Amino acid sequence: MTSQAAPARHRDLGLTDWEYEQVEDRLGREPNGLELAVFSLMWSEHCAYKHSRKLLRRLPTEGPAVVMGPGENAGAVDVGDGLAVAFKVESHNHPSAVEPFQGAATGVGGILRDIFAVGARPIAVLDSLRFGELDSARSRYLFDGAVRGIGHYGNSIGVPTVGGEIYFERAYEQNCLVNAMCVGIAPRERLIRSAAAGPGNVVVLFGALTGRDGIGGASVLASAELSEEDESKRPSVQIGDPFEEKKLLECSLELLEAELLVSLQDLGAAGLSSSASEMASKGAVGVDLEVDLVPLREQGMEPFEVMISESQERMLCVVEPERLDEVLAVCDRWEVRASAIGSVTGSGRLRVFAGGELAGDMPVTALVDECPLYDLEPAAPADRTGPPQNLPDHRDPGETLLALLGAPNLASKRWAFEQYDALVGSRTVRRPDEADAAVLLLAPDSESGPAIAVAIDGNGRRTACDPYVGAVEAVLECARNLACVGAEPLGLTNCLNFGNPKKPAVAWQLERAVEGLADACRALGVPVVGGNVSLYNEGGGGPIHPTPVVGMVGRLPDATRAAGIAFREDGHAIALVGPFEPALAGSELDKHWGRLADGLPQIDLAAQARALAVVREAVRSGKLASAHDVSDGGLACALAECCAAGALGARVEWDATGVEPLPLPAPSDVRLFGEAPGGVVVSGPPAAIAELAETAGDTPVLTLGTVGGNTLDIQVFAATLRVLVEDLATAREGALPNLLS
């Protein structure tokens, strides 16, 4: 039974009374203070996924290219030539809402460590960001701080930030989303797993000193709703040092290349508690740690503080005793602190010693494998309407287009990405805003040859309208972005950002979104190799929009044929490829009208998969000049982006060709600004577009018009849109700087 003194203690640490009783049952006694702290973090939502783990079993995880799947620090896929690409996306939402600069910076640092913990050299970072509307001082503060934090860490360590997305919605006012994705590359045989092995082997901690910063940080903040008292949590946010991480990265890769390590694990949320217990669990062994051997930044730290500190830039490895001196010598050469702090045992227990005395003794299976898992109690919400906005009906279509291009969600994010170095590392072929996906050469410093494409996508607004369809669309959007540069997807990682899962409406959103992800991945044959779940993203203003973010990696045989978005030559033909059936429901225009649709049109996944293959092969042929998917703002905005990127106009008609992709004639605003998955705007020589139409099978290819002039002219039924290309570019480029000034 629970003691009378314990309830307040365990509740303060986030454990329910029932969970505390389970801890007592696993131990056969009451936990002491250190043990309770460790259990509270290991059984937190952030570490244990106790409200989502059952759902995640529905995702497909196997595929011919998979080298590492879920359960490791990062997933990895085979990209040929003896190489593997490791990648993962994770959230740092709650720390960033408290301290945006350090929260975002350490989010980048953490995801970098996940990549080199499996033996891969990080070669690219992408980010997916969500904030409140920019008329809010708080949102502007969070946005500015997060962008600076990402730029500071990535630029300092020398890893390019090559892509991402940024959205602004009222639903993210209290809880911003900062999701970071990292991609790394390694010889396939050099990849290493994190399972501890070999009783008698030495456990070595190397990297930065351990301090009180970050104690209870990510794991506690990410397991509860934030409130007006967030300011008091500022000390819980970790402090990052990218220069320390650079040394740690190079040291780790040298240790792996020399085959000096049995296993390797980064220290993230819950610090030594999670890294040691997870390594032991995967290897079915035990670990003994001596906290007095841990190098400290602050004196007087209690043993439980050492165990749960989330100080950054630290790694834990297992080393054979006879190789220990070699490991310490490599660390010394890189000026990285390294200390033997424990050993692998056959006990199946995590034992913590302080001053030679046993300070904690916990079964590894109880910490990692026997965390209580909960079934959700989903129920669809009754009301999904949004507040009225400021864009009236019946506006001139040209004015509507300029208003949408100047809206924060559609405006150029140049203000942000110019703070990032996209070229360091000499692999980047396509930079942000040049193409729908970033393209990175497998062999650096070459001008051609095989490459990978990476993208990250999500749309909380559309997922709020329909969690299932919104999640499907996120997968399709990412795959379509890869297809536009000629890449075939090999694997997917995800970050599921939702509110409080104990609330029926949020549980319904989460369950439906996971079903959508699973169905879309199966239809496209794309396995999920890893990911992250971030729950309790809500405060006084209610939950965020349900926001499943997906990152995808694909391969293309020739980087020189990766298409950009810009129209390139007068006289080129323009076509719309794919099963594109636009609707205003869930669109950016609908948002400006203050509506949040109750549902979205269903999707023919088989038709979408066929269209992706058509676009991918057309780009790989090298005959297309450009390819750009239709997404936020619909066809008119996609055409405007192609015109602005190439400083060329276009003349387009949608209803005069005799080809009707829609089942019934639609109003002009639906065709101009309606949104739906499936559409890709391509351009190229007329003969190439004609050949594409002949070879596309049952995938629609609708010739729309011609590149040329200095205006974008669109004729849809009786509506005519005519805007100078210069005005399109001004609306897109000037919006964010003006809103932030």
What is the C-alpha separation between 326 and 345, in angstroms, rounded? 22
From the candidates 10, 46, 94, 628, give the one annotated as an active-site residue.
46
Beta bridge partners, 723, equal: 712
Residues 128/454, Cβ–Cβ less than 8 Å = no
Directed axis angle between helix 137-157 and helix 100-116, to 10°?
A: 40
Q: Which two tokens stand for residue 417?
A: 């990405």
Pairing of strands 349-354, 286-290: parallel
Coil vs helix vs strand at 165 = strand
Q: Which two tokens stand for residue 369?
A: 């494998």
Coil vs helix vs strand at 112 = helix
What is the C-alpha separation between 146 and 129, in angstroms, rounded? 9
Task: From residue 309, give the alpha-carbon distance in Å to each of 142, 273, 337, 662.
Answer: 25, 9, 17, 58
Element (H, E) at 680: strand 680-684
Question: Tokens 């085959």 sit at which residue?
Answer: 259
Active site residue 46: yes
Which parts of 81-131 are beta strand (E)? Answer: 83-91, 121-131
Pairing of strands 263-266, 161-168: unpaired
Helix count and strand count (H, E) for the chain: 25, 28
Active site residue 572: no
Pairing of strands 711-716, 286-290: unpaired
Which parts of 505-657 are beta strand (E)? Answer: 528-534, 538-539, 542-543, 547-556, 573-577, 626-629, 650-653
From the candidates 10, 51, 92, 545, give the one annotated as an active-site residue.
92
Q: Which two tokens stand for residue 653?
A: 């008609």
Task: From residue 78, give the alpha-carbon distance in Å to each of 63, 67, 526.
Answer: 10, 6, 13
Cα–Cα nearest to 45, from 378, 371, 514:
371
Amino acid letter, residue 621: S
What is the C-alpha separation between 368 and 43, in angstroms, rounded? 8
Contacts of 288 (CB under 8 A, 6+ apart): 203, 342, 343, 345, 347, 351, 352, 353
Directed axis angle between helix 725-740 and helix 137-157, to 10°?
A: 100
Q: Which residues are catalytic?
A: 46, 92
